[in-house]
Structure 1
Amino acid sequence: MLLTGRTGYEHMAIAGFLIEIFAATMLLLFAVRLVRTGIERRFGALFQSLLTRHSNSFVAGGAGMVLATILQSSAAVAVLLTGFAAAGMVSFGIALAGVLGADLGSALVIQILSYDLGWLQPVLLALGGWLYLKSDRANVRLMGRIVLGVAFILVSLQFLRDAVDPIRESAFLPAIAGYLESDYFSAFIVGAVLAFVMHSSVATILMCVTLVQIGAIPFAAGLSLVLGANLGSAFIPIWLTRDQIVSARRIPIANLLLRGSAALVMLFAVNVTGTHAALMISGPGQSLIFAHIGFNLVVFLLATGFVTRMEAPMALLMPETDPESGVADQFSGALNPLGDPSATGPDVAMSSVRHELLQMVTQVERMFRPVLDIYERDDIDTIAALSQQDEMVNAQLTEIRRFVARLPRQNMSKSQIKAARGLVEYAIRLEAAGDVVSNRMTRSAKIKHMERAEFSAQGWKELKDLHATIQESFSLARHVLLVDDVDCARRLVLDKAEIKRMSRDSRKAHLKRLERGQTESFQSSDLHLEALRAMRDLHGHIAAIAYPILYKSGQVLETRLVMEMEKEAAED
């Protein structure tokens, strides 16, 4: 009876352990995603500048490391760099160096989050909740989201430690730990599968480190799991970028070849020679972190020096021309002839249209970025360049229309036909956005210089703030176009409300300046108001990509988001 009762108790303890481990893991994944998406949305434009302005591979690797440390995700940086490569904004070698640096950056995150920061949990929860719930400003709410995410990471790790205590004395945990220690290759595969399924190497390795720290699994088994997690995390960007063009997909696959082969070499080297003890330079958990950082540091230092030399072998391994479809990927920043849609399947054809649209978004962003300069100085060359760039956008729209018109409808489903129509509509919106810059804003700038009008200091600051906020939305639009991310689509529409609020506040402030009799405001009144309208209209065109995704997921009623947009509508 006592034996039966003890067995029943152990079964209940094991069941409770599995449920709590699963709950702690889900909270950890949610927290990591909360931090990553919050930072991406708040600082997206800055990240693009950080990742695309370098020509030295080690500097680009350092930028990738910094960004992955901030985002707590090497996969997120890899997806961003792959998208930039698809748009012709960064070369293969620089992008691969950035991905290798990102792997090292995510390893450094493990060290930061492994410290005992339990005392900080209530402070972060209180501060993050206050920022998120008590402010109507989108940027402040995003900072609250980031702070809450860090707090939830700490809570989930404490939850994970507490979940193991009841099961520590049972036969279940030692049996699992012993098996993983004795069969290091199985442990390696388990770590790889966990990292891929959880879609987060940070969450996976934090869990392994925590289990090693509390003695739930031995150091040797933890090392094999962590090496496997390095392999599994390299598969994540490959999966997330599977619909991109061949030349862009080479980057995460090259990273997998480098990182995966290095992980396998270290796995066999350590286990065959039995040198685990040599890596125990501190406590088991801290030694595991050092081993993980050291592994990624060695891969980064050895591989970054010859990343440019990998481009030719990867081009041979993954040629741009698909022999089955006869379609070449030629997205180098200039207009790409889309080719014959009947020569490919519907999925390939739709992917080609998306990447042509990606180029259009990038082209419009290039037009919009220097637009305030032409208000400051009468630069005929810049205005002429904007006109030429707008002609390229118009040509891209024409190419997309012709390509979609030739799609074989009989081989397409209703949803694919609807999606194709939606992509053409977005191309039309992008062409209209280009016209806003090349026609309306350049015309206003010419009038300003002809009339020798000047914006007031505060009015000019308001325009610059609006310009910077709109620039951040281009990165979001590219991401939504490539990934169909509902959260980012929602953020785009919420940004539209933020642009509307900023425009409204600037208009009210401008009218108050007129009431006070400011000379500059009188001289530039029409120009200021027209610039506000133009930038607001341009952002509306860019954000249009979000609506089909939000309609599909039930996030939009008519033209408003279900909850957040109601308040904005009432204020207007």
Structure 2
Amino acid sequence: MVTLLNLLSALALLVWGTHIVRTDILRVYGAQLRRILSTSITRRGYAFLAGVGVTSLVQSSNATAVIVCSFVAQGLVGLAPALAIMLGADVGTALMTGVLSFDLSWISPLLIFCGVMVYLSRRHTSIGRLGRAAIGLGLILLALELIAAATRPMTQAAGLKVLFSSLTGDVMLDAVVGAVFAMLTYSSLAAVLLAATLATSGVISLKVALCMVIGANLGSGILALISASRQNAAGRRVALGSMLFRLAGAAVALPLIQYAEIWIGYLSSDVRVGVVAFHVIYNTVRCSLLLALVGPMSRLCMQLLPASPRDSDVIQARYLDPAAVGTPSLALANAAREVLRIGDIIENMLASLMLVIRDNDLLQANNVRKLDDDVDRLYTEVKMFLARVSREEMNAEEVRRWTEIITLTINLEQAGDIIERIVTDVESKKIAPQRTFSSAGMTEVSELHARLLASLRLGLSVFLNGDLKNAQRLISEKEAFRDLERTYAKTHLIRLAGETQQSIETSSLHLDLISDMKRLHSLFCSTAYSVLDAAGMLHKSRINTEQEAVVLVANSVSDAAAGAFPP
């Protein structure tokens, strides 16, 4: 029992070390690796090599699969290049298995010691994260030693010999066991190294180990299918094509496994080296031959997984890549792009609003309501996406950006609600009773609307670029808009005193309208405060107000996260 616990703990350490390396490499170089994957699609060979290189760094073909599936789902990468990348990912995993199979035990304590020193001193920096990745690599090497030590007593245990004796002769059963190991450990690398260690210890035969290697590749494909299940049909096609490639390789290799056993025996007398060499050779040959078939495979996958019918009127988040959640800098960049989309929708709502006010256009009124539904949908998705990004892993600058994004998202959602309410008021107080604004009143509304639209665009620019001069200009525009709103309220009262019939009939609507426009303008100008605060130019009372708002925003998102992701 103790031996089994030691083996399980060593396997857990191996999986944890792999997770640490993958996570921290993606956090530091995630944006660059994604750029490599998304741009290396001009030729199949380049895509193949990109898959090899990226997977060798992150030590997980599953991580590469998640990234590539999300790219295809968003329409950033075609299916054929994505399948070429996945073939390269299989080779990259095999190469890393070969590297880790060497006796690198002397490096393990060095990597762990140096990694801990670097991480503790530079925890929230890129160097600190690389130090943690070094710790993970050291843990992988240490886990491999522990696995070898834990399996030695198995050669003497009669019960375990009887258990593993069932893995002889039935290549399908052996392959299934290898697939199960890969799925349980969430790593084909761990399953292959375990098979090599068990074969070296004499617990299983070389033939069983080779079948388990092929099964581990199938298990990794199943994991990719599970990970892609939440993607749209385009994203799922990548995982399906990769799995079909793996099945084709297994269908050819398993009937010939006895010849492979003889050939590996001639290649090396060291069983461990032989198993790992077979893994590298098998994946390299399989993927190189199948590279020519990515075109036909992509067409087959499109037939097997046709695009599901979807209501084209329902807007979908375009940049909220779930695979980016573990990389805060990349996740924040994606969320910022999605928030700018919300800003574009608000701009369209403002354009339609003016047509409703000026021309009594009921078609545009319905369009405003539809756009507000789109804003609400994207607002919810952005909020839930940001709630999944761990703030403990962010540095101070990333926390500030997180707050800016969620604050603007909330402000734009409130702006959408205000615009929709204005449309409802115009319908009930102007269009239905067939009233009109006076020419002077309409001119005032048009002037405020034009300033409102310009400030929205300027506010989005400040959010995107953080330009100090534009932030100061935005605050100045806010003060000017406030003064103009007061002036127009007074001139409206003067028109009422002159008993202008049109002004009397639309008085309530007119005053409410310019008041609501003032609220909208304040929401659009709020992006300037964080820029001014960072430059030390924000008034102390305003800083306190902003800090209180930050706490409220963080609590709001935390509550939303608790509701969406219950413990």
Q: TM-score, normalised by structure 1?
A: 0.62
Deviations 1:286-330 (CA, angstroms, capped at 9, x unpaired)? 111111111111222122223133222211111103xxxx426xx
- The reply on whether 1:31 has 2:21 as its aligned counterpart is no
- The reply on whether 1:235 has 2:222 as its aligned counterpart is yes
Aligned match of 2:519: none
SS at match of 1:102: helix
Aligned match of 1:161: 148
2:254, 2:66 → 1: CA distance? Answer: 27
Please state how far the C-alpha of 1:140 moved relative to its aligned partner.
2.6
Aligned match of 2:301: 314
Please state how far the C-alpha of 1:206 moved relative to its aligned partner.
1.5
User: Would the aligned equivalents of 1:177 and 1:221 in 2 still touch at CA under 8 Å?
Assistant: no
- The reply on whether 1:211 has 2:198 as its aligned counterpart is yes
Q: Which has the larger radius of gyration?
A: 2
SS at match of 1:224: helix
User: Would the aligned equivalents of 2:155 and 2:201 in 1 still touch at CA under 8 Å?
Assistant: no
1:301 to 288, 293, 299: 288
User: Would the aligned equivalents of 1:32 and 1:149 in 2 still touch at CA under 8 Å?
Assistant: yes
User: Would the aligned equivalents of 1:85 and 1:95 in 2 still touch at CA under 8 Å?
Assistant: yes
User: Would the aligned equivalents of 2:346 and 2:412 in 1 still touch at CA under 8 Å?
Assistant: no
2:75 to 75, 82, 88: 88
1:363, 1:18 → 2: CA distance? Answer: 40
Please state how far the C-alpha of 1:423 moved relative to its aligned partner.
7.3
- Specify whether residues 209 and 436 from structure 1 end up closer, same or farther in structure 2 by C-alpha distance, changes over 3 A only: farther
Please state how far the C-alpha of 1:189 moved relative to its aligned partner.
0.6
- Specify whether residues 320 and 418 from structure 1 end up closer, same or farther in structure 2 by C-alpha distance, changes over 3 A only: closer
- The reply on whether 1:129 has 2:116 as its aligned counterpart is yes
Aligned match of 2:310: 327
- The reply on whether 1:429 has 2:429 as its aligned counterpart is no
2:320, 2:3 → 1: CA distance? Answer: 49
Please state how far the C-alpha of 1:20 moved relative to its aligned partner.
1.3
2:340, 2:213 → 1: CA distance? Answer: 53
1:46 to 4, 15, 32: 32
Point out where structure 2 has 5 or more consecutive residues left out of the alignment. 325-329, 350-367, 387-404, 414-455, 471-530, 539-548
1:258, 1:406 → 2: CA distance? Answer: 38
Residue pairs, 1:165-244, within 5 angstroms: 165-244=152-231
User: Would the aligned equivalents of 2:188 and 2:217 in 1 still touch at CA under 8 Å?
Assistant: yes
2:331, 2:197 → 1: CA distance? Answer: 47
In structure 1, what residue type is equivalent to 2:106?
W
- Specify whether residues 441 and 206 from structure 1 end up closer, same or farther in structure 2 by C-alpha distance, changes over 3 A only: same
Aligned match of 1:277: 262
- The reply on whether 1:439 has 2:461 as its aligned counterpart is yes
- Specify whether residues 365 and 400 from structure 1 end up closer, same or farther in structure 2 by C-alpha distance, changes over 3 A only: farther
- The alignment's C-alpha RMSD in Å is 4.5
- Specify whether residues 246 and 88 from structure 1 end up closer, same or farther in structure 2 by C-alpha distance, changes over 3 A only: same
In structure 2, what residue type is equivalent to 1:402?
D
Aligned match of 1:18: 4
Aligned match of 1:462: none
SS at match of 1:181: coil
Please state how far the C-alpha of 1:138 moved relative to its aligned partner.
2.7
Please state how far the C-alpha of 1:18 moved relative to its aligned partner.
1.6
Please state how far the C-alpha of 1:188 moved relative to its aligned partner.
0.7
Greater RCO structure (CA 8 Å; 6+ sep): 1
1:400, 1:217 → 2: CA distance? Answer: 63
2:384, 2:369 → 1: CA distance? Answer: 15
User: Would the aligned equivalents of 1:181 and 1:221 in 2 still touch at CA under 8 Å?
Assistant: yes
Deviations 1:184-211 (CA, angstroms, capped at 9, x unpaired)? 2211111111112221111111211222
1:423, 1:506 → 2: CA distance? Answer: 25
- Specify whether residues 392 and 287 from structure 1 end up closer, same or farther in structure 2 by C-alpha distance, changes over 3 A only: farther
Aligned match of 1:334: none
Deviations 1:212-265 (CA, angstroms, capped at 9, x unpaired)? 233332211100111101111101111012111011110001100111221132
- Specify whether residues 75 and 133 from structure 1 end up closer, same or farther in structure 2 by C-alpha distance, changes over 3 A only: same
User: Would the aligned equivalents of 1:187 and 1:228 in 2 still touch at CA under 8 Å?
Assistant: yes
Deviations 1:156-196 (CA, angstroms, capped at 9, x unpaired)? 11111111222322223333343212222211111111112
SS at match of 1:118: coil
Q: TM-score, normalised by structure 2?
A: 0.62
1:99 to 63, 86, 96: 86
Point out where structure 1 has 5 or more consecutive residues left out of the alignment. 1-14, 329-336, 340-351, 370-385, 408-416, 449-502, 512-525, 527-536, 556-572
Please state how far the C-alpha of 1:73 moved relative to its aligned partner.
0.2
2:272, 2:80 → 1: CA distance? Answer: 35
2:104, 2:199 → 1: CA distance? Answer: 18
In structure 2, what residue type is equivalent to 1:257?
L
SS at match of 1:319: coil
2:227, 2:242 → 1: CA distance? Answer: 14
In structure 1, what residue type is equivalent to 2:13?
L
User: Would the aligned equivalents of 1:192 and 1:229 in 2 still touch at CA under 8 Å?
Assistant: yes
User: Would the aligned equivalents of 1:68 and 1:74 in 2 still touch at CA under 8 Å?
Assistant: yes
2:533, 2:383 → 1: CA distance? Answer: 36
SS at match of 2:76: coil
- Specify whether residues 298 and 446 from structure 1 end up closer, same or farther in structure 2 by C-alpha distance, changes over 3 A only: same
